[in-house]
Amino acid sequence: MPELLFEIGTEELPATFVAPTMAQLETGFREKFTAAKLWGAESGTVKVTGTPRRLVIYATGLANRQLDETLQLKGPSAAVAFDPQGSPTGAALGFARKNGISVDALSIVDGYVQATVQRIGRTTLEIAGELLPQIVRELTFPKAMRWGAGKLRFARPIRWLVALLDEEIISCAVEHVAAGRSTRGHRFLSPGEADVPNPLAYSEIMREKFVIIEPSERREMIVSQAKALAAEIGGTVQIAEELLDENVFLTEYPTAVLGAFSSEFLSLPQPVLVTAMRKHQRYFPLVDSSGTLMPNFVAIRNGGGEYLDTVRAGFENVLSARFNDARFFHELDSQTTLTDKINGTKTIVFQEKLGTVYQKSLRLPLILENGGLLDVLEPPEIIALLRAGLLCKADLASEMVKELPALQGIVGEEYARREGEPEEVALAISGHYKPKGAGDPLPGTEAGRRLAIADRVDTLVGYAGIGVAPTGTSDPYALRRAAAGLVALLATSDSLPSPRSLFEAAWSAYSDQAIKQTATHQDAFASYMLLLTQRLDAALEEKSVRYDVREAVLSTPMHSIQETQARALAFGGLVGGNEAKEAQAASTRISNILRFAQKEGIVVPCQAPNPALFDDAAEQALLDRYSAAESAFAAEMARREYPAALKTLAAIRPAVDAFFEAVMVMGEDVDRRDNRLSLLGCLRELFQQFADFDRIVAGESGNSTLHE
Amino acid sequence: MMTFQDLLLTLQKFWSDQGCLILQPYDAEVGAGTNSPATALRSVGPEPWNVAYVQPSRRPADGRYTRNPLRVQHYYQYQVIMKPSPENIVDLYLESLRALGIPLEQHDIRLVEDDWESAALGASGVGWEVWLDGTEITQFTYFQQMGGIPCESVSAEITYGTERLATLLQGKNSIWELEYAHGITYAETEKQAEMENCIYNFEEADTTMLFTLFDLYEKESKRILASRQLVAPAFDLALKCSHSFNLLDARGVVGVAERAVYINRIRTLARACCLGYQKQREELGHPLLVGK
């Protein structure tokens, strides 16, 4: 059975794009060729490979052509197609012509004209020529580009195509690049073109032309060579998965090179060295048996084993230059302490309207103290936390961080340690930037977490105070990320302060510095809470909490992020159960009548009902039920016993039902009516402490895409 | 040995042979060859444009008081623009390295993804850093947008770091040791000025004056563009804003958030100039479009 080869030859693709594109190509091939009945997973195989310069589909077991088919096509009714004399009308003639048969060949089935048509299956060669360009055009990339005068968008320019069905070229084109059988080898080791006689021969031809098309093979080459080189000098190579992937897709023919740098650089902070090696040079660092960084590295060359000394010298020189640079900054930084560097932050603007980073670092201790972040801590912890608050932004004025901004906090930690600050302080300085984004771990220490909270609150309250909030896709100050981080941090413990008290502390800290807040206190608080609520909503969605449950819980007052999250998670597990349904039924009945009253213009008085104004025993019974439930519910909520609290609410339902059956709520007597409404108002308040049950959608399985 | 001068002359000859006009450096302080109107303005619109030129460039914050062997605040970029980007542009570029005497198969050459963006120009592109044995020697970019305007015809931009290349070719560890030509070193031609400029940029530049200049240049650029559609001088004034900002940045008086505001102001000027240029060329009927 025929085999197919499709090679998309490109200029160097971004390393992270190749694997996802390979997956898309495989899916595209499977779907399209299966649908066209030219290939099936039962009898055929498909393998997609790729390098920086090519994406390749190799498939076996294709059909030569589609099968011929006999089709029965229904036409106009017999009455329309033939006149009373039995002669064909224009309708019959037209139908026959359209299907390429003579009018005599038409038959009549169930009162309708029918044409029996033989459809000759088309050849695979022909159909593949249509499907392959479609597969290419449907590929998507994190970022696409145009080139030349063309309109096609692709990851990088397409420069050649090979499309073969056995020995034959599949005639097709993408943009103005026509497919043929001519491929290209490794850019430098085998730059010429070569003809591919048939799909099976491709892989070996590429190998001869110094291209290893299979990513797993290149990975294996890199890992085994790197390990062997490290072993030669008694070290272990630190292979970070992401960096390995990158090297796999930066090379068509990888060769590992062992390099060294002067051991005098080892006196620089390790994160600085490792960042320079990994992030800037894509080298793998080496450690010795005790886990200490060695003055060596393994780099991956895109080429063979020749002239390795030239390449190694280049690799070493560029790393030395980077380390020299770092040492220059380090020496400058060593001339002053972190405490001195705080003064340097006086000229770094945090935000034009919100003052300098220096001012921010003066606010942090105030937020820690007045916001309640020092509560429950022991005196030594408090001292360390306040010290870290003061120093945590100092490294922004260091030369090292100005040069390597990604190392903010990490450099501060190193410098603090060198200057003899307590370990708690050093760790909190680096920790307070965490989490940097979704999925990033939280700070590892208590002080770090609390400082991280204060820093984010300061930022969010500051921007809210000048009326800046994210809109749509625009969030230039990354406020959503800050809010998401704050939510994650506050969700870690029950003993952390409420969003409100943190807001107030930060708001006062800004006011005390005479920083002009253009938004009103009320608007700023609303905008701050909106951001937090949205981020908590997103966090709960990620934990698969139904959208209506999230809405129901998030519309209740939020005293503690941790509590609200726990309640939403618990309710998410309980919703749909009997107790939730009972509670909801009671709550809905109460809400409906209160809504009706409101529509009628009746102000529901917010006061305890007066039993003297009750007409019916059901009223007193409901009040008794309420009073009993209220104290039980409060205790259960305080203990975070959500199933029990929900059960307590559910148990109110019979009394509610009996009440509605026995009395006419909206009676004529205004005082008695208002008294009944007061009772219901109290009940609603009770239910709403758990969730706004009205928002729960009955029978809803919680498809979150319906939301927003 | 290939002197620094030979390197520049070789590139001039090579790209001239590929059909590029060899332009002279632009006479304004710019951070890169991209900021010259020969790139920034000419990459707008459908007309073909093939040029190459040396561009002296200034990035005040990059100065290292001559102490870093490879980093300086003033240097010479070699800039190539081919629009629309030809099919074989990567091969042409690699040929230019061979012309400089680099046997490609003896080295490790890699094209590492590096998308380029100039917030101040409202420009972005897609491309690579080219690494020669781990050292970045060239930035290669397909422009996608300039002045916020999507590129109708895509330019390939090749920016060589000439000093970096020369140190590799001459086997020197420092740009100061480079032979410029005729036995004169790069240190002789550049080092004293580099030192003085570092002192000025980091310590002495009058920030009050620079903030004022920024405002004045900005106002003037807007005025002459609005009143008389004077695109070229308005763009020069935008470049002056950009340089004033770069000096303020080096003085460390611009914070992260404030930066964004200043860059936005420069971009607004640059975009207005690009739009003005686009209109101008339309009104002229795109004279460089062949077969019209």
Per-residue pLDDT of A495-512, as tens digits, reads 899 999 999 999 999 999
How far separated are the first and last CA of chain A, in Å rounded?
51
Neighbour-count burial for A611-646, b at 16+ CB within 10 Å, e otherwise: eebbeeebbebbbebbeebbebbeebbeeeebeebb
As a whole number of angstroms, the longest Cα–Cα distance in chain B is: 58
Q: Which of A53, A177, A187 should we substitute to test contact with B (largest number of B Cβ atoms within 10 Å)?
A: A187
Structural domain spans, chain A: 4-65+123-208, 69-119, 215-333, 341-542, 570-705
Q: Model-level pTM?
A: 0.77
Q: Taking CB atoms and an 8 Å limit, are B110 and A156 in contact across chains?
A: no
CA-CA-CA-CA torsion sign (A611, A614, A620, A625): negative
Query: Residues A427, A429, A433, A434: what is their CA dihedral angle, to the nearest 10 degrees?
Result: 10
Per-residue pLDDT, B257: 63
Average pLDDT over residues A652-675: 90
pLDDT band at A288 (very low <50, low <70, confident <90, very high): very high
Q: Which residues contact A501 (CB under 8 A, 6 or more apart)?
A: A371, A372
CA–CA dist A516, A353 (Å, integer)? 8
| A405 cis-preceded (ω within 30 degrees of 0) | no
Using DSSP's 3-state secondary structure scheme, residue A465 falls into: helix
Per-residue pLDDT, A121: 87
Sort out which chain A residues have CB atoms less than 8 A from B163's CB and list them: none
Sort out which chain A residues have CB atoms less than 8 A from B144's CB and list them: 145-146
pLDDT band at A702 (very low <50, low <70, confident <90, very high): very low
State pLDDT tens for residues A218-244.
Answer: 999 999 999 999 999 999 999 999 999
Q: Taking CB atoms and an 8 Å limit, are A325 and B115 in contact across chains?
A: no
- CA nearest neighbour of A163 among A122, A206, A131, A205: A131
Strand partners, B81: B51, B157
Q: Quick one: B262 exposed, middle or buried, by C-beta within 10 A (0-12, 13-18, 19+)?
A: buried
SS3 sequence, A626-646?
HHHHHHHHHHHHHCCCHHHHH
Per-residue pLDDT, B255: 67
Per-residue pLDDT, A474: 79
Per-residue pLDDT, A703: 42
Fold: same for A341-542 and A570-705: no
CATH 1.10.3210 at A341-542, yes or no = yes
Q: Taking CB atoms and an 8 Å limit, are A14 and B113 in contact across chains?
A: yes
Query: Residues A545, A549, A554, A558: what is their CA dihedral angle, to the nearest 10 degrees?
Result: -80
Per-residue pLDDT, A707: 38
Per-residue pLDDT, A706: 36
Average pLDDT of chain A, as a whole number: 92
Provide, rounded to the nearest whole percent, the portion of chain A with pLDDT above 70: 98
pLDDT band at A187 (very low <50, low <70, confident <90, very high): very high
* B13 alpha-carbon distance from chain centroid: 20
Q: Taking CB atoms and an 8 Å limit, are B69 and A349 in contact across chains?
A: no
Residue A708 has pLDDT above 60, yes or no: no
CATH 1.10.3210 at A570-705, yes or no = no
State pLDDT tens for residues A199-215.
Answer: 999 999 999 999 999 99
What are the per-10-residue average pLDDT scores of chain B (292 residues)?
A: 96 98 98 97 97 98 89 96 97 97 93 92 95 95 96 97 95 94 97 98 96 98 97 98 96 77 94 97 94 56
State pLDDT tens for residues A605-647.
Answer: 667 888 998 888 999 999 999 999 999 999 999 999 999 999 9
Average pLDDT over residues A258-269: 95
Using DSSP's 3-state secondary structure scheme, residue A196 falls into: coil
Query: Residues A496, A502, A506, A512: what is their CA dihedral angle, to the nearest 10 degrees?
Result: -100
Cα nearest neighbour of B135 on chain A: A318
Kindly report the CA angle at B164 between B159 and B170, in degrees rounded to 5?
A: 130
Within A575-651, residue ranges assigned H as helices are 578-599, 617-638, 642-650
CA–CA dist A658, B189 (Å, integer)? 99
Per-residue pLDDT, A705: 39
Average pLDDT over residues A390-416: 92
Provide, rounded to the nearest whole percent, the portion of chain A with pLDDT above 90: 77
Average pLDDT over residues A432-436: 94
Residue A700 has pLDDT above 60, yes or no: no
Please state the length of chain A: 708
Using DSSP's 3-state secondary structure scheme, residue B120 falls into: coil
CA–CA dist B100, A72 (Å, integer)? 71
SS3 sequence, A425-442?
HHHHHHHCCCCCCCCCCC
Residue A60 has pLDDT above 60, yes or no: yes
Cα nearest neighbour of A277 on chain B: B134
Per-residue pLDDT, B256: 62
Q: At what angle do helices A446-465 and A499-512 cross, to 10 degrees?
A: 60
- Is the distance from CB of B134 to CB of B108 less than 8 angstroms? yes
